[in-house]
Chain A
């Protein structure tokens, strides 16, 4: 069971965070939050999202699972504006989710959850390097790198006390190093890994809206980005597998 009311903008933000990686997902309803965890089709990127009941104007739910067509939801939510109240109502028997806003009433057929990939279990990995940076600065760096290359190195230089991003094109090179002054926080442990900008570009658009993004890094290890949504009443984590260059 799920019946809830929320600012449409907040819900859209949550759906966009998922849509950056997958077109469909299993959404779990719990008594005090909505939770989802999904992996992209190539098993390279994962998203996990929590949206607490406190993010809603009204929320009542029991434990359950529903299959969501994320791409369709994104299109529908695109028509709503900030401040519009959105009411979600799960019609269990009909396997439909009703979205009501401003007199519109959408009834969306749910996907059979069993046809959607199971929730991936997050890998246990140690990522000792940590930097906290504004989402817009992170997104700008990703966009700058994408101009000249299809991959980007993210790293921490403990001697220079910087978090850096570096990209190498066929002929061009770009580097951005941010010192402690420009960062919210830094845990200066040496780290460097290479990532595909294909994935980062989509994640970057979502992260751009976050005040602070926590970046966790290792050497030739995945990267984890964690940030708040819904004014601190929800949290998103992205995990992206690295590229490892052959010697």
Chain B
């Protein structure tokens, strides 16, 4: 398939608003693709380049992209920024620049879908001190051969945001329809394999092949997530529930095969090097081939230490030993996904828990089963008393749903008036804050994955934190005018607030009253920020009665 054809499909999908029609359109393309093209097409159409579990990352910042486009179009970098500012979209800006480019070229080589993917691979593996230069050369070659429409989708793919509204759910349904298999089977395979591109290939072989897809060790699985809720609600709805402490640590996934082990963060990054103590603890607790889900917590004198101590270790690559003396981490394991070749995620929690207790000699997080709300509240009080964040309430029959924030797992925390929001813009600081960003524009995510602003935060950041945040954000600036800058969304803040209000000032329709910075969530990606639905829900539940529908 030529990349031009792919671009035309994207353009077509961008113009369709109905979910069913989108699914139908994609399902008619899939069978015509070769085995090599199929997984690439499936990932590209979702705006992804590599499988989520893959250690390959494109690592292209907006600045590098602008450099490449400016070079190819014979425009200044400033002109590229200006075009993006005006149009509000990198893809459309690149398209326009390529359509009106001054710089002539001797010829154009047709871009092929698979070749484009190979070039992305080349960018991802370009390492060392010449890595940026290597990536830039490949980007120039791609844009140098791109027609304007191809430029639109190349640019968006490089930033892994295609903006055509094809999410995982739609693609899953399109695969099922294309190859005449049950959606549930596609979903099962997706949960185990973690990559719809590969699942599409398996689907082509038929339903039996999908059924047989198993989790593989050293290929991390997305973690199951929890909604906010209350103890009473859960017990009323489900009766018996499992109650566990909610630790103020960092989520990890432990994989072991033979004498080898790896540890992955919730963003599926390999963090084994930074966590030798966790590895040692768990290697000693079992000798089975296994995948475990748990939380790493920092302990000092028997009491848990705050989250930032843990996260420092997760980000650590050098001088781990010195760091380890300072912060000791211990694992608290609460789930098992795989044992000796068998995928366990389709079994109920109660059964997974039984297996976990059987095979793991130590470090299993305590769990209490109860249908008594008062008893559960007592555990909750004890959790807070011991310095934990709260409790997790889990439905006993719940299957392990990778990447899903379902109703079957609920987190209960006191005064949980914090939100995880994407940092999409900032204003340069003044006075003491000169030279760093001083206030930050924050956004939630709507159903289509768009980021919508919900307010600004400027308080709660220490000078050190401002410097750290500036270092993280300075290379993500994609546009600027006057004191304001726009970022490529990559950084997530957790912010506190007094109240959610309706607001005509922000396109989300809501604003935060008295927002304050709580912490940097380097363990979270922008695809995990609070949803507009979530904010709507919080607004409606506010106790002061202000929460009538906007």
Q: Tell me, rounded to whole Å, the shortest Cβ–Cβ distance linking A188 to chain B.
A: 25
B206 proximal to A (CB < 8 A): no
B107 near A243 with CB under 8 A, answer no
B131 proximal to A (CB < 8 A): no
B144 near A243 with CB under 8 A, answer no
B100 CB contact (under 8 Å) in A43, A150, A242, A246 = A246
CA distance A15 to B107 in the complex (A): 25
Tier of interface size on chain B:
20 to 34
Given contacts A42-B71, A245-B102, A246-B102, contact A120 B107 (CB under 8 A): yes
Nearest CB in chain A to that of B144: its residue:
A42
Q: Which residues of B sit under 8 angstroms from A241, Cβ to Cβ?
A: 103-106
> Restricting to A212-241, which residues have a CB under 8 Å from any CB of B?
222, 239, 241
A41 proximal to B (CB < 8 A): yes
B104 near A244 with CB under 8 A, answer yes
B137 near A23 with CB under 8 A, answer yes
Nearest CB in chain B to that of A243: its residue:
B102
CA distance A214 to B144 in the complex (A): 28
A145 proximal to B (CB < 8 A): no
Q: Which residues of B sit under 8 angstroms from A120, Cβ to Cβ?
A: 106-107
Greatest chain A CB density within 10 A among B72, B74, B144 is at: B74
Q: Tell me, rounded to whole Å, the shortest Cβ–Cβ distance linking A163 to chain B.
A: 22
Q: Tell me, rounded to whole Å, the shortest Cβ–Cβ distance linking B60 to chain A.
A: 15
B108 proximal to A (CB < 8 A): yes
B140 proximal to A (CB < 8 A): yes
Chain A, interface SS category: loop
CA distance A241 to B76 in the complex (A): 18
Interface string of B64-80 (1 = CB under 8 A from A): 00000001101010000
CA distance A239 to B107 in the complex (A): 13
B474 proximal to A (CB < 8 A): no
Nearest CB in chain B to that of A22: its residue:
B137
Greatest chain B CB density within 10 A among A42, A44, A71 is at: A42
B145 proximal to A (CB < 8 A): yes
Nearest CB in chain B to that of A39: its residue:
B106
B71 near A198 with CB under 8 A, answer yes
Q: How many inter-chain residue pairs (CB < 8 Å) link A and B?
A: 58
Q: Which residues of B sit under 8 angstroms from A151, Cβ to Cβ?
A: 74, 102
B143 proximal to A (CB < 8 A): yes
Q: Tell me, rounded to whole Å, the shortest Cβ–Cβ distance linking B307 to chain A.
A: 44
Q: Tell me, rounded to whole Å, the shortest Cβ–Cβ distance linking B466 to chain A.
A: 35
A196 near B106 with CB under 8 A, answer no
B74 near A46 with CB under 8 A, answer no
Q: Tell me, rounded to whole Å, the shortest Cβ–Cβ distance linking B478 to chain A.
A: 21
Interface string of B487-524 (1 = CB under 8 A from A): 00000000000000000000000000000000000000
Q: Which residues of A sit under 8 angstroms from B137, Cβ to Cβ?
A: 23, 41
A42 near B140 with CB under 8 A, answer yes
Q: Which residues of A sit under 8 angstroms from B140, Cβ to Cβ?
A: 41-42
A123 proximal to B (CB < 8 A): yes
B105 near A43 with CB under 8 A, answer yes
CA distance A39 to B140 in the complex (A): 13
Q: Which residues of B sit under 8 angstroms from A246, Cβ to Cβ?
A: 100, 102
> Restricting to A132-179, which residues have a CB under 8 Å from any CB of B?
150-151
B317 proximal to A (CB < 8 A): no
Q: Tell me, rounded to whole Å, the shortest Cβ–Cβ distance linking A161 to chain B.
A: 29
Greatest chain B CB density within 10 A among A44, A71, A246 is at: A44
A44 CB contact (under 8 Å) in B76, B106, B109, B130 = B106
Q: Which residues of B sit under 8 angstroms from A222, Cβ to Cβ?
A: 104, 106
Q: Tell me, rounded to whole Å, the shortest Cβ–Cβ distance linking B99 to chain A.
A: 10
Q: Which residues of A sit under 8 angstroms from B109, Cβ to Cβ?
A: 43
B72 near A42 with CB under 8 A, answer yes
Q: Which residues of B sit under 8 angstroms from A41, Cβ to Cβ?
A: 137-138, 140-141, 144
Given contacts A43-B107, A241-B106, contact A196 B145 (CB under 8 A): no
Q: Tell me, rounded to whole Å, the shortest Cβ–Cβ distance linking A200 to chain B.
A: 12
Given contacts A39-B106, A46-B106, contact A196 B100 (CB under 8 A): no
Interface string of B115-153 (1 = CB under 8 A from A): 000000000000000100000011011011100000000
CA distance A43 to B106 in the complex (A): 6
Q: Tell me, rounded to whole Å, the shortest Cβ–Cβ distance linking A107 to chain B.
A: 20
Q: Tell me, rounded to whole Å, the shortest Cβ–Cβ distance linking A133 to chain B.
A: 24
A196 near B103 with CB under 8 A, answer yes
Q: Tell me, rounded to whole Å, the shortest Cβ–Cβ distance linking A125 to chain B.
A: 10
A44 near B144 with CB under 8 A, answer yes
B106 near A123 with CB under 8 A, answer yes
18 new A-B contacts at CB < 8 Å, known A41-B144, A243-B103, A245-B102: A39-B106, A41-B140, A42-B72, A42-B103, A42-B105, A42-B141, A42-B144, A44-B103, A44-B104, A120-B107, A150-B76, A196-B74, A239-B106, A241-B103, A241-B106, A243-B104, A244-B102, A246-B102
In the assembled complex, 21 residue pairs joining A and B whose CB atoms fall closer than 8 Å, in A order, are A23-B137, A41-B137, A41-B138, A42-B143, A43-B144, A44-B104, A71-B130, A120-B106, A120-B107, A123-B107, A151-B74, A151-B102, A196-B103, A198-B71, A222-B104, A222-B106, A242-B104, A243-B74, A243-B103, A243-B104, A244-B102
Residues of B within 8 A of A (CB): 71-72, 74, 76, 100, 102-109, 130, 137-138, 140-141, 143-145
